[in-house]
Structure 1
Amino acid sequence: MITVFGATGTTGAPLVDTLLAKGANVRAVTSDPTKLDALKAKGCEAVTANFTDTAALEQACDGAEKIYLVTPAHLDMRQWKANAIEAAKAVGVRHVVMATGLGASPKAGLTFGKWHSENQEQLKESGLDWTFVQPTYFMQNLLWQADSIAKDGVYHDDLGGPVAWIDARDIADVAAEALTAPGYESKVLGLTGPEAFAADDIAAILSEVTGRTVTSAPLSADEAKAAMMAGGMQDEVAAAMVELASIAPKGYLAGIETTVSDVLGRPARRLHDFVSENRDAFV
């Protein structure tokens, strides 16, 4: 049994599909009971659990040999992960594959890196086998702007520098390998796409794929933070997101990792292909 937390999320949903395609016995966990039927229709067990409910977390992990642990970006995410790790240990889970962030380590200088590092160290100290999946920015994040791009023909750039965007489906596929194949214990898997793109590059891809002119426009740190908070993000978390974006102009988000191709034996998905698959959303 493999328990997947965040089973309706950006990485969790495709992970459930990939694991089922591999023939794995999957228990999908969601905090939203209205999503249980859709999960069960995929052919997996589905349960509800809140990260603050220790008993529910233990029930979600009970009988599972391995779990995939991911939480939303939230001020309480460190405690949520800690609760899940403790629950997994209490019921005899053997291996935890945990999604954190690229560059997370005890030496991290950024807020998110420090927050993720706390849970990484806790998991290391738990006595459980561990694998850290550390992705960069998701290509799926571009869909947050799909409506405004379609309406105004403008991609609003809050990064100001090149980023090696990764498709969340590649994250899921790598996580699936770590959950089903031997040899990934005590591994840190840094994940990026195969190319780094700045704002003008993204606008050019959008223009080519949609057949209409899309330009890029800078979004200031204050504007970006305000937009995230308007979407429901907490002040401290939005500030950490802005801090992360601030290293893009220095090229620190442009590095290319070969992990996807190394693990899966195929190239990582390209941004051009992602935009093409989602063309209708941008027009």
Structure 2
Amino acid sequence: MQRRVLITGAAGKTASAVVEALVQRGFFVRALVRKTDDRSQRLAKLGAEVVTGDMLSLKDMTVAAQSMDSSYFCYPTSDRILEASAIFAEAARKNGMGFICNMSQIIARPDAPSPTSRLHWLAERLFDTSPLNVTHLKPTFFADHFVLNVRHTIVNDNKIIRPYGSAYHSPITSTDIGRVAAAVLADPTAHIGKSYVLTGLDRLSFNEIAGIFSEMLGRSITYVDVPADEFKADMERRQFAPSLLEHHMQSSKDYREGHFDATNTLVSDITGRDATRFRDYIAANISAFQSGST
């Protein structure tokens, strides 16, 4: 019998990768999106059943979960993560869903400085104490972060401006996270009850990352370690939601203290294919960082 999987937040980076991977494996995939747009139309063309709904509506989530065997649960970074998780857990329970692959954070823990990270930790515990089988994915900073949130200063100022000091992380791509989630959902038995810290293979400081950009772009890119208030001002100019702004401000403390600093081979161990090297990811997206690309 064909396996049936619900993907929430399906228009997002990791979730869309899960949709594509599972459709290719022959699964029936229901893709839950907030609204119909070009991204949802792409999912439909891939072969997913696209449905719209509000992840904070128990009614919508109960309908979305009907007849689904398992799910990838991914909610945007927000201070409503615990509410969304509780709603989804109840919708999944009502429908007899057997397994959830939950997207969390590497810094989710009870004493994290970010309120959102603490809520992610509570959401993990909520799923753990529910009747549902669950696996938690806890990735480090995404490599995609450089395209989404750093590109403007690289293009306009030849700078990477962040309050991260000299600490390290091993950037992971959203596609690799999606491949892990798809592999877990395809054969969940060995993964039930586990939490996976997901990383790339290249442990880098922001000074080293600036050096890679300099080499690949053919111009000097420098890392500027700024006070948190200057970082906050940039996010305010770019109209970040208040809870997201607060999360980035507080998680920068975790970064400086080394809480993002992990490197492992779990992507390869779970999927059978190595994680994308950071240089390869930047090379594939190099046009986004060329002068005049904003």
Instruction: Give the count of matched residue pairs.
Output: 283
Q: Secondary structure at the match of 1:247?
A: helix
AA partner of residue 157 (structure 2): D
* Residue of structure 1 in register with 2:179 after alignment: 173
Does residue 224 of the first structure (1) align with residue 231 of the second (2)? yes
Q: Is the 8 A contact 1:195 1:270 kept in 2?
A: yes
Q: Secondary structure at the match of 1:195?
A: coil
Q: Secondary structure at the match of 2:10?
A: coil
Q: Secondary structure at the match of 1:32?
A: coil
Which 10-residue stretch deviates more, 229-238 or 171-180?
229-238
* Aligned-partner Cα distance in 1 for 2:259–2:118: 17
Q: Secondary structure at the match of 2:13?
A: coil
* Aligned-partner Cα distance in 1 for 2:277–2:267: 12
| TM-score, with structure 1 as normaliser | 0.93
* Residue of structure 2 in register with 1:26 after alignment: 29
* Residue of structure 1 in register with 2:168 after alignment: 162
Q: Is the 8 A contact 2:168 2:261 kept in 1?
A: yes
Cα deviation for residue 16 of structure 1 reads 0.9
* Aligned-partner Cα distance in 2 for 1:47–1:229: 33
* Aligned-partner Cα distance in 2 for 1:177–1:28: 17
Write the deviation string for residues 175-212 of structure 1: whole angstroms up to 9, x where unpaired.
11110013111111111111221121111111111122
* Residue of structure 1 in register with 2:269 after alignment: 262
Q: Secondary structure at the match of 2:273?
A: coil
Cα deviation for residue 28 of structure 1 reads 0.6
Residues 98-113 of structure 1 aligned to structure 2 (within 5 Å): 98-106=102-110, 110-113=114-117
* Residue of structure 2 in register with 1:73 after alignment: 77
* Residue of structure 2 in register with 1:234 after alignment: 241
Percent identity between the two aligned chains? 26
* Aligned-partner Cα distance in 1 for 2:265–2:257: 21
Cα deviation for residue 97 of structure 1 reads 0.6
* Residue of structure 1 in register with 2:157 after alignment: 152
Shift of the 135–78 alpha-carbon distance from structure 1 to 2, 3 Å rule, reads same
* Aligned-partner Cα distance in 2 for 1:83–1:96: 13
Q: Of residues 3, 6, 23 in structure 2, which corresponds to 1:3?
A: 6
* Aligned-partner Cα distance in 2 for 1:149–1:242: 20
Write the deviation string for residues 111-150 of structure 1: whole angstroms up to 9, x where unpaired.
3432111111111121011010110111101012223312
AA partner of residue 72 (structure 1): P
* Aligned-partner Cα distance in 2 for 1:166–1:104: 17
Q: Secondary structure at the match of 1:58?
A: helix
Cα deviation for residue 256 of structure 1 reads 1.2
Shift of the 151–238 alpha-carbon distance from structure 1 to 2, 3 Å rule, reads closer
* Residue of structure 2 in register with 1:271 after alignment: 278
AA partner of residue 146 (structure 1): R
Q: Is the 8 A contact 2:99 2:133 kept in 1?
A: yes
Q: Is the 8 A contact 1:58 1:87 kept in 2?
A: yes
Shift of the 123–172 alpha-carbon distance from structure 1 to 2, 3 Å rule, reads same
* Residue of structure 1 in register with 2:136 after alignment: 132
Cα RMSD, aligned residues only: 1.8
* Aligned-partner Cα distance in 2 for 1:236–1:12: 22
Q: Is the 8 A contact 2:6 2:64 kept in 1?
A: yes
AA partner of residue 12 (structure 2): G
Does residue 188 of the first structure (1) align with residue 195 of the second (2)? yes
Cα deviation for residue 231 of structure 1 reads 3.3
Q: Is the 8 A contact 1:85 1:123 kept in 2?
A: yes
Shift of the 209–260 alpha-carbon distance from structure 1 to 2, 3 Å rule, reads same
* Residue of structure 2 in register with 1:90 after alignment: 94
Which 10-residue stretch deviates more, 112-121 or 5-14?
112-121
Shift of the 90–228 alpha-carbon distance from structure 1 to 2, 3 Å rule, reads farther
Q: Of residues 205, 208, 216 in structure 2, which corresponds to 1:198?
A: 205
AA partner of residue 211 (structure 1): G
